[in-house]
Structures are given as structure tokens and as C-alpha cells.
Amino acid sequence: MPSTYDDLVNLANEFIEKDPGGNGAGKTIGMEFDCELNLGGAYNTPLAPDPLFNSFNSFTGSWYYDNYNNLQYGSVAPETKTALTALSGLYQQGILAKDFAIKKQADIVADINAGKCGITFGPWWTIYWPLNDAYTNDQNARWAPCLCPLDADGSYMASPGNPHTQWVVVSKNCKNPEAAVILASFSYDACLHLIPEIEALQAQTNQGYDWALFGCPIQFAADIPIVKSVDIAWNAIDKKDVSLVKDTNNDAFWVLRAQGAIDYLNGNVNASSVQEYSNCLGEKVAADPKTSFFNQVFPAPTKTMNLKWANLQKLELQDMLAIIMGNQPPDYFDTFVNDWKNQGGAQITDEVTAELASMQ
């Protein structure tokens, strides 16, 4: 399995040259990622290029403190120039599709499900979407999750994710404010597969999870760390004994998942066992101790950000794509950084710095 950036590039070239999907010469795409809206920084997002940037310690779209405790916006940090230079090399080598910059997310998903794409990126649940139809369309399709590319220190750098992105707000005039707490409790149980009626409805959809059935827009973290549950489940899978699934965050759920993986390993290959085994593999990779998290912060929108952030993001995307596609040389990054600062980025950085300082 690949681990370094060079490993990943070599593997992408093999997909193109060996054409395992039988697409014909020049029709297999080595690597695809979604850049319709941004080039990284959106947590828990399928098809995002963050792993490529992060392997160069470039954290695009994110605010964080660097090793010297200086606040940085990752898209204008020096490391991003290095990352963009490397991605420009991917484009020049033909590993990225010539039209990658104008592809919609749906176009990439279609390539994946048609067996035209060798490598893509995503969170552990990528098997639910967008890889769910790849196996349906071709039961010889095989996707393998890997923690890649690692940085120079052998770590897989990742965003810790904003822990506060959703809230339930209750009006002071609400007749039954306790309903919000009851609904939140219901959704917590539903997330842990503890409500048979919800499980039955989910099974009927036959399309993974329909979050609308949960009733509450908030997803709650389990009381027991997911890493511990993954380790327990894999001990049972390795020994092919689901009775060893105990003391997880939800034993009933992990028994079903482990049993599906065991079925797959025993040769009972079907859509359900493939999905459960794939999920277990993805979760195992996500729980790998080589994963490290950069020191990300999540400032509230500032006054200038409200006025100018949309234009700055547009500038960021168009200039980065220009460098990757070779329309501008890598040194154009310095021009982009100056334009970003002059068009409001410097003022926003000062405002974010002041906001964070006021909270200490």
C-alpha cells in the first residue's frame, strides 16, 4: 500500500498505464478530487484534496497556529506554494484530468462508478458515498483505504474538525421547550442504532442513512471513544468471533458490523458484507496512531470577513487552479498572497488575531 506522496504518484501512474478498468488507452484518470468550491479546508468532505496539501504541511482554507505560535491562514502560508508546485507536476504528468478544474462533483462520482478513476480521497465513510455504486456496477471493483500521503515525519496530518457546528435553539415563547431535549435524546439513540423503528425505515431506503429520519440535525459523539470500539471490533474480526465484541460505544451495532466483515472474509460476498468490511477497513485506517492533528482554530466571522471573504475565496480558488494547470508559474503564488492581503486578507488576519487574543 502507498504511504508517501511519491508512492501515491507512482500508483496513479500504474492505474493509467495498466488500465485495470479496461477503459482503453488514455481513458483512465490516475487521481481525482473535487475543486468545484475550494481546494481544501472543508472538514469531513468526500473527494477533497486535503490529504495532498496536508502532506506538505499546507492547511488550505484553515486558520491555525504554526510551530512558532503564529496565527496563519493556510492558503497563504509558504507551505502551500510547495504543495501547489507538486500538484502542478501532477497535472503536467497527466495524472490529473485535463478538465479537472471544471468538473462538477457529480462528474467525478460518475468516473468513480464507471471504473475510470484510480485514486480519490475521502473520510472513512466514503464507502457509503460516493463509492457505494462502484461495487454495484462492477462486482470485481476493489477499493482499498490507506493513510496516505504521510508527511516528511511519517505522520498523516488532518483537521481536528470544528466541534461546534450545529445548534438547537428554543424560543423562550415555546410552549414545550423540553421537546428539544427529548428530540435530541431520541436522535442520540438513533445514531447508536438503538431504535428498531428507525432501523427498519433505514433498511427500507436501501441507500445508507437518511439523516432526515433522525429528527434532530445534531449528531452526538459517543461516550466511548470510537478508536476503542474499532480496536475491539477488529479483534473480533481477526479472530472471527463476534462474541468478543463487548464494551464498545454500541455493542449491537459493532456486532453487526463485525459479523458482516467476517462474512466477507469467509467468502460470503454480497453488497452488505462488502459494505461492512469496507467500513471496518476505513475505520481502522482512520483510527491509525500515525494520524496527527494540526493546531486549528475556528474564529467567528469578523466584520471585514463578512464583507470580503466571498471575494477572497474566489481569488484563492482561481489563482491556485491557475498555478496547478500551469497557466501561471509557481512563483505567481507570491502575487496571489500580496493580492489576498491587499484585498482584505491582512485586515481579516488582524481581526481574527484580536478576537482570539480576547478569548485567552
| Alpha helix positions (H), the chain | 5-18, 50-54, 78-93, 105-113, 132-137, 178-191, 196-205, 226-239, 251-265, 271-286, 303-324, 332-340, 346-358
Q: Are strands 63-65 and 296-297 parallel, antiparallel or unpaired?
A: antiparallel
Q: What is the pTM of this model?
A: 0.85
Helix (H) or strand (E) holding 76: none
Q: DSSP label at 345?
A: I
Please give the domain boundaries of the chain with CATH numbers for all domains.
5-160+294-358 (3.40.190.10), 178-214 (no CATH), 226-289 (no CATH)
3-state secondary structure of 292: strand
Give the whole-angstrom CA distance, residue 261 versus residue 239.
11
> Which grid cell is 109?
462520482
Render each residue's pLDDT in the chain as its tens digit; 360 residues. Answer: 899 999 999 999 999 999 999 999 989 999 999 998 899 988 888 999 999 999 999 999 999 998 888 899 999 999 999 999 999 999 999 999 999 999 999 999 999 999 999 999 998 888 878 888 888 888 888 888 999 999 999 999 988 887 777 778 889 999 999 988 887 777 777 766 677 776 676 666 544 455 555 556 555 555 556 788 899 999 999 999 999 999 887 787 788 889 999 999 999 988 788 888 988 998 898 888 899 989 999 999 999 999 999 999 999 999 999 999 999 999 999 999 999 999 999 999 999 999 999 987
**Amino acid at site 130:** P
